[in-house]
Structure 1
């Protein structure tokens, strides 16, 4: 039974990490037109307990993308400098949409694994009851 619990916890950690990744992607898309906004990024880390890897993952610390902000020409904008430019964001909507799709597919794969492990443990319990 321990293997089933391990499978469930690994799949659940993957779903949680992908959900957070999707949240950051959504925030980036929502702030694509916000002047001075830096894209949020994060990477996955393996969970280690008592010095041993558990097979679970989590999202690492949130980092801001260091790429330069786009310069937008709009002399009427309140944040424009004397030349009519202001700093836009460094969010690329195509990249964000691709990241969102990847996170969604990974979430769904983890969900299928979770459901398979749950069905297998349920079937095993039914066999043992007989």
Structure 2
């Protein structure tokens, strides 16, 4: 592959990455252990990569079934070391986090653990609609 084509590929990849980051919304995430029935799917099992949506993204149930890519940016509790794991996950909205919810997205505990130390309790996140 020629040097020009390689350079073009690298520039394209960089632009794509910057565009993805620029479109990410910022919020917070906590975790919970889902209970049934969920607001969106009743007693249907949707696995562990699921979340409850707060009023910020609930949109009168239209969030049901949406998938979001979520990445931890930092813990809100700075006394916890190694809070973010540097990875992102994709979760499906299956439930509603009622008014007064302390997060934008309330992740199932296993989903939260995939991106952050659960001892953090609450984290700052970037999220995008998938």
Instruction: State TM-score, norm by structure 1.
Output: 0.30
Identify, as 1 or 2, the structure richer in helix.
1
Identify, as 1 or 2, the structure richer in strand.
2
Q: Which structure's relative contact order is higher, taking Cα pairs within 8 Å and 6+ residues apart?
A: 2
Instruction: State TM-score, norm by structure 2.
Output: 0.30
Bigger CA radius of gyration: 1
